[in-house]
Amino acid sequence: MQIHNPTAMQPTHRRSDIQGLRAIAVLLVIIYHAGLPMPGGFAGVDVFFAISGFVITRMLMTELERGHGLNLKLFYLRRIRRLLPALATTSISTALIAVLANPIGTQITAAFTGIATSLFVANGYLYRSAPGYFSPGAEFNPMLHTWSLSVEEQFYFIFPLVLWLGWRAAGPAVPHHRRRWIAAALILTMLCLSFWISCEMSYRHPLLPGISAPAQFAFYSSPTRAWEFAAGALLALSNASLLRLPANAALAIGTGGLGLLAWSAFAIDANMPFPAWVAWVPVAATLMLLTGGSSGRNWITRALSTPAAIWIGDRSYGWYLWHWPFVVFARALFPQYASAMVIASALSIIPAWASYRFIETPIRSAKRASTGATLRLAAICIIGPILAFGGLWLANRAIVSSSGAVQVGAALQLHIDEVRRCEGSKALNPDVRPDCRWSAASTRGSVLLLGDSNAGHFTEPVIRAANAAGYDVSVATMAACPFVDLRIYGNGVSNEACQAFVASALTEIEKRRPNLIILATATDGYIEESSTTLGARPDSVPAHSASDKAGLWTVGLSSVLARMTRSAPVLVVHPIPRFRTWTLDSCAAYKVWFDPMACAGSTTRLEVDAWRQRAVRSERSAVTQNPGASTLELVDVLCPGSVCTVLKDGVWTFRDGAHLSVPGSLTLSDQFEAAIRKQARP
């Protein structure tokens, strides 16, 4: 497989329209990350994957058909010079800036993601240790976007060997065009297998042992993304026949591809299982645009080959690297300004230009880059970022011990239901979860706290209040699981674990018959936020609009209240005020270090009431239909004036925009004790 031809692995003729397509891909991603209204912009990464499969296969096939074999040594040396210097520069710079500009709560995650990036396994680390790509909290990891680079680097390690095996399988006597078909058959098999696994896991079907979060595995992993590269590779293997397409046919295909790409940018969103079937839209659009440009020039190739498009395409790698850290730091430093992310995204072209001008181009085009020099460069580009991110980890250790960070840390401490893992119906069984039961000194019965994380953040005051009133307390919560008789869909997938929790908890309530059930849920979030859809039955069309969801909520809550009130009175706690653009753990480290009060957020009471209006009305309507149920309103305690703040008498009452801190929740103990004494069954 090794040869000594000095011309080996030289790039084939550069198609300027491909650079323009790269420009579109990077712009899609940047527009999406800047928070502008392009919900499917993240699919620009899929465009990059398909282009890579096409370009790399075309380059490798040129060498194979010249009879030289594959010089993998030169191939990997070229990849090192092309990718690592720019990545290392961005990584080291990001680690240094993150010491002050990154939220302290995500500095450790950023440090380990950066180290994993340097070792080409960021996608694996993010799958195992972080929330999903679209989850709250992920947006403050400045190295989150490097998952795609790790997928691409892993492709570069494996794919040349796959192509070579397919080429050699036929033997040297077989003509080149037949060997192409054999290689294509092998890659097609890989594509089908990868796509099948991708679809199954996107819909949360754990095909492989040890996969705890199949949807995240589908998004981040190389096996579930390989089909996108393979699609581009198959197009490259058929490129000779595509060159013979009539000009009108090529133009029609390219035009269709442009339309599909536009559709994917605006019709795909984070609520859809992804990659799954829908990822074929941007991938097919890319293949069609590549096909349309293979048969000569037309208006699409001319548009993609304009100087501006080529200029952006040439710098697309650097811009992709730099834009996301800029967005993260802007969000942490200027959370009150939505435009900050847009400005930061635009400004990130400056270091991208500098990277291309002074790092990427000189190193890539160096004529006397020996093997030893390239390997030394690789070592520097791997070890340097690892040391830099190790420094970020050490800096975080120092920052979290500062007085400001101690205050913030107290507000961010986990509620006791999280500490003791009181999740799901098993928490109701004292033999399985004895730590989820708190006994009064002289008991007169029991109180049960149920719901999602908005029930969990009431754990401390409910325990204090109920024990003071003479009741034992049991707690069972499940994050992102409202206690209603509805099907909950997140990212288009039904939350079956939530359905099981509600059903089993209702059965346990009928057995135990507590003196009072306290039910709390972030009803406002499920109704108002577009990321969640609700369905009455498995075969019903899920409701998307807030008004439709509010109507369903009344029915679903009334159903569980009717069943629960046969066993015990139920106290429904209305949603707390919500600070929709604020979260404490997103505050930049330098603010926490020097002036933690600068991390505070506020909203008006008018905004709070408007956001909660449908949720409160829906809950009251359900309670009205069930005489054994009552409500508890806490908004006047948490927001007594015209302006609601996250600080109350020097105490951080909120830990994020939708959850109380432990100290903040304890300020509600008197209200809970009064309600328990009034509503609990003697």
Mean pLDDT of 227-234: 96
> Is the pLDDT confidence value at 12 over 70?
no
pLDDT in tens, 51-78: 999 999 999 988 887 766 778 888 999 9
Mean pLDDT of 1-26: 68
pLDDT in tens, 276-315: 999 999 999 999 999 998 877 889 999 999 999 999 999 9
Contact between residue 458 and residue 518 where contact means Cβ atoms under 8 Å apart: yes
pLDDT in tens, 15-64: 899 999 999 999 999 999 999 999 999 999 999 999 999 999 999 988 88
Contact between residue 167 and residue 64 where contact means Cβ atoms under 8 Å apart: yes
In this predicted structure, what is the pLDDT of residue 211?
82
| Residue 472 bridge partners (DSSP) | 446
Confidence of residue 378 (pLDDT cuts 50, 70, 90): very high
User: Residue 616: is it exposed, middle or buried by C-beta count within 10 angstroms (0-12/13-18/19+)?
Assistant: middle
Mean pLDDT of 450-477: 97
> Is the pLDDT confidence value at 183 over 90?
no
pLDDT in tens, 246-257: 889 999 999 999
In this predicted structure, what is the pLDDT of residue 131?
61
In this predicted structure, what is the pLDDT of residue 136?
55
Half-sphere exposure of 6 (CA within 13 A, CB side): 4
Q: Of 224, 295, 300, 236, which Cα lies nearest the Cα of 46?
A: 224
User: What DSSP designation does 356 have?
Assistant: I
**Helix or strand run (H / E) with residue 632:** strand 629-632
3-state secondary structure of 175: coil
Confidence of residue 7 (pLDDT cuts 50, 70, 90): very low
- Could you tell me where the DSSP H helices lie in 137-175? 147-168
Q: Which of 170-174, 469-473, 584-588 has the lowest mean pLDDT?
A: 170-174
Integer Cα distance of 95 and 77 in angstroms: 26
The listed range with the strongest mean pLDDT (12-26, 78-92, 529-543) is: 78-92
Integer Cα distance of 428 and 436 in angstroms: 7
Mean pLDDT of 458-487: 96
Integer Cα distance of 449 and 475 in angstroms: 5
CA 631 to chain centre: 35
For residue 290, what are the CA distances in angstroms to 148, 232, 327, 501, 511? 21, 9, 31, 49, 65
Which residues 6+ apart lie within 8 Å of 404 measured at CB? Answer: 592, 593, 594, 595, 596
In this predicted structure, what is the pLDDT of residue 8?
39
Integer Cα distance of 65 and 58 in angstroms: 11
Q: Of 538, 626, 576, 546, which Cα lies nearest the Cα of 451?
A: 576
Mean pLDDT of 613-634: 97
Mean pLDDT of 93-114: 94
Q: Which amino acid is at 220?
A: Y
Which residues 6+ apart lie within 8 Å of 75 measured at CB? Answer: 9, 60, 156, 160
For residue 266, what are the CA distances in angstroms to 261, 290, 624? 9, 21, 42
In this predicted structure, what is the pLDDT of residue 13?
61
In this predicted structure, what is the pLDDT of residue 162?
86
What the chain holds in terms of domains, given with CATH numbers, is: 16-398 (no CATH), 416-577+604-639+662-679 (3.40.50.1110)
In this predicted structure, what is the pLDDT of residue 9?
42
For residue 94, what are the CA distances in angstroms to 328, 345, 360? 10, 15, 18
Q: Which residue has the tokens 């057995």?
A: 511
pLDDT in tens, 562-578: 999 999 999 999 999 99
Contact between residue 455 and residue 447 where contact means Cβ atoms under 8 Å apart: no
Tell me the percentage of the chain whose pLDDT exceeds 90. 69
**Helix or strand run (H / E) with residue 433:** none
Q: Which amino acid is at 143?
A: M
Q: Which residue has the tokens 């996107």?
A: 202
pLDDT in tens, 649-675: 888 999 999 999 999 999 999 999 999
In this predicted structure, what is the pLDDT of residue 6?
35
- The mean of the pLDDT values for the chain is 90
Q: Which residue has the tokens 């993304």?
A: 225
> Is the pLDDT confidence value at 441 over 60?
yes
Task: State pTM to two decimals.
Answer: 0.85
Integer Cα distance of 416 and 422 in angstroms: 8
Q: Which of 36-45, 139-148, 431-440 has the lowest mean pLDDT?
A: 431-440
In this predicted structure, what is the pLDDT of residue 167?
77
> Is the pLDDT confidence value at 137 over 90?
no
| Residue 103 bridge partners (DSSP) | 588
Confidence of residue 171 (pLDDT cuts 50, 70, 90): low
> Is the pLDDT confidence value at 644 over 80?
yes
Integer Cα distance of 448 and 89 in angstroms: 54
Mean pLDDT of 368-388: 93
In this predicted structure, what is the pLDDT of residue 18?
95
For CA atoms 426, 429, 431, 436, give the dihedral sign: positive
Q: Of 447, 457, 512, 503, which Cα lies nearest the Cα of 479?
A: 457
In this predicted structure, what is the pLDDT of residue 10?
46
Count the helices and strands in the chain (H runs, E runs): 31, 15
Tell me the percentage of the chain whose pLDDT exceeds 70. 95
In this predicted structure, what is the pLDDT of residue 31?
97
**Helix or strand run (H / E) with residue 643:** strand 643-645
Integer Cα distance of 365 and 485 in angstroms: 64
In this predicted structure, what is the pLDDT of residue 540?
78
Which residues 6+ apart lie within 8 Å of 496 measured at CB? Answer: none
In this predicted structure, what is the pLDDT of residue 5?
40
> Is the pLDDT confidence value at 635 over 50?
yes
Q: Of 444, 395, 443, 450, which Cα lies nearest the Cα of 428?
A: 450
Q: How many CB atoms lie within 10 A of CB 209?
A: 5
3-state secondary structure of 2: coil
| Residue 423 bridge partners (DSSP) | 477
